Amino acid sequence: MPDLNYHHLHYFWVVAREGTITRAADLLGVTQPTISAQISVLEDSLGVHLFRRRGNRLELTDTGRVVQEHASTIFRVGERISEAVKHGQSAGPTRFAVGVAESVPLLSAHRLLEPALSVSSDELRIVLRVGQRDRLLAALAARTLDFVLTDSAIGPSEPVEAHTHAIHQSDALIFGTPELIASLPAPFPEGLEDAPFVLHTENTPLRRGLDAWFARHAIRPRVSAEVEDVGFLQLLGQDGRGFFVAPSLVREEICSRYGVEVVGAAEGLKEYFFGITLDREPAHPAVRALLPERVGATRA
């Protein structure tokens, strides 16, 4: 493959960011055919398709998203260099880019990231992304993220070669409003039979573990909602829509923020949190602050 043409790459990056060739052409001050031709040359040189058309918009292919992540790194570094030279700036604070899987409760993420967040803002600039786990791992592989916080370890069949660090495990507690708890017809856990529950969706480790716990105790809950967004799930619990599960890690915050109480612990059920890094022993100071020395890493 010939050397990469960064001029073509820049055109691709702007189109990917703007979503249409029309907007990119207006921004760059060139014609639409010029941009189309430059992107075609880039695709030919790489031997891949970077876009697919969806109506009037262009959508990145899976390969296109990977290329976009790399291009973002290249051109944002270039922008910082230009600014530093223009204004005589020093290197500035260290950038710490962290991704949080959308299945991780943000209250838990905030608590687990505290060792890095406590670093002085003069020394650390934090970039936080919340999204789908596979997208975050792709960004990690492209080195646009330094660390991914998730509730599941890297598996051997996944395309990203990375290291899994066990960060924390927490007991799973069942929360409910005082009115719901008072309405239970029997002690915990038998009283949860036919009780309303607001549950995580079935594709999450916590939901699978909770379903197994229900089965062990012969409890058939009445599912009032299944929610992907954990924050919204907890808001429904606050409204009294049903009992919900959250980690003991944030027990006090959950009770204080949502006006709920703990009805009991789902014994044997744990919530696990993992940090994913490309390097077994990361050099980034914020990442190292999140990985206690006693915690080992496993390679996918």
Q: Each residue of 9-25: pLDDT tens digit?
A: 888 888 887 778 888 88
**Ranges in the chain annotated CATH 3.40.190.290:** 93-295
Distance, in Å, from the CA atom of 268 to the CA atom of 261, rounded to the nearest integer, reads 20
245 in Cβ contact with 173 (< 8 Å): yes
182-236 pLDDT, tens per residue? Answer: 999 999 999 999 999 999 988 788 899 999 999 999 999 999 999 988 889 999 9
The CATH number assigned to the domain with range 93-295 reads 3.40.190.290
May I ask the CATH architecture of the domain 6-86? Orthogonal Bundle (1.10)
Confidence of residue 1 (pLDDT cuts 50, 70, 90): very low
111 in Cβ contact with 161 (< 8 Å): no
Confidence of residue 294 (pLDDT cuts 50, 70, 90): very low
| Dihedral sign of CA atoms 252, 99, 286, 165 in order | positive
133 in Cβ contact with 152 (< 8 Å): yes
31-55 pLDDT, tens per residue? Answer: 889 888 889 988 888 889 998 887 7
Q: What's the predicted TM-score (pTM) here? A: 0.64
Confidence of residue 111 (pLDDT cuts 50, 70, 90): very high
Q: Which helix (H) or strand (E) holds 62?
A: helix 62-87
**Ranges in the chain annotated CATH 1.10.10.10:** 6-86
pLDDT at position 295 over 60: no
